[in-house]
Structure 1
Amino acid sequence: MARALPSELRERALEAREREGLSIAETAARFMVGTASVKRWNRRMKSTGSVAPSPVGGVRRIWIGEDDRTQLVELVEKMPDATIEELRAEYNSRHGSAVSSSAMHRALQRFDLTRKKSPSTRPRRRPSV
């Protein structure tokens, strides 16, 4: 994703538009930005009094943190054959939370928890000699 254009450029564009009576399209062409950007900056200036860009992104919240580690270890020990989806459903029912499958997968990786699948119980066919 591209970075936000500087506030200085935004301010200069809106000042030129107001001072010279430029249309949105003319302002966009002069400053080599999109017309939608000029519209957005204009709307932001009217509503907030500033053209500063909004913060982008944020901190990814870790849903299953260190304080939940022991509970997750107990869950994996109790259900060693469970899929990630089954672990997620059980964890959510116990904690009343809404942890996603990907969050469960990341937590298992972060805590180095492996799920041991039982070997198949079907007997192997041996060739007759």
Structure 2
Amino acid sequence: MVYRQISPDMKQRALVMLQEGWEFEEIAAVLGVSDRSIERWADNYEHKGRVDPPSLNRGRRRLLNAAAVKDLYQLIAETPSLFLDEIGDWLALYHDQPISTTALHNNLQDLGLTRKVLKHTAAQRDEARRNEWVHDVAARFTPNQLVFTDESSKDGRTLLRLYGRAAAGERAVEVVNHVRGQRWSILPAMSLHGYIALRTVPGSVDGGEFFDFIINEVVSVMKLL
């Protein structure tokens, strides 16, 4: 659940409704809060004389204004792999709001922008054509008829960030250009029977290499299944 600050006026109104005979569930439904929150406000008022007593553990209030928060959501959506210091530089430059790394981390947590594993999506991917192909295959073939082949490879390490930030419940996705160094390619073929063929090739696989693999290694095995 994303943190949101509730004003003292709303908390006070909840206590007035309690005094008027409202049930906890009714107040929670009207104000959009939890039963436990109302119980905590009532307990604070009874023992501390106010619904929002200062907390020794809370520290200073958050530093980001509404405009900065709105733009921050957009920034994270477009570039989820930014480091905290890069976000801090952006806030100082574009919103004149310098902020420490620790305070920024706490702000992001409160806004529901959490650190998670970053998924990389190829810029060349065509989602519409991909969905069309999936539906066509499902309509024309049975699982026993399918053999899956693809090129896998081992290459020089691609320097991509593994973690990013996104709103709670959403994946962190960044569109990037994949850069490859020297590599070895592997051509596997897999069916419901497991891997039925495999070829290792130095460098990349061209059309002729792939065609030869299909005809001489994949088709020959399929005839025996």
Of Structure 1 and Structure 2, which has the larger fraction of its residues in helix?
Answer: 1
TM-score (normalizing by structure 1): 0.43
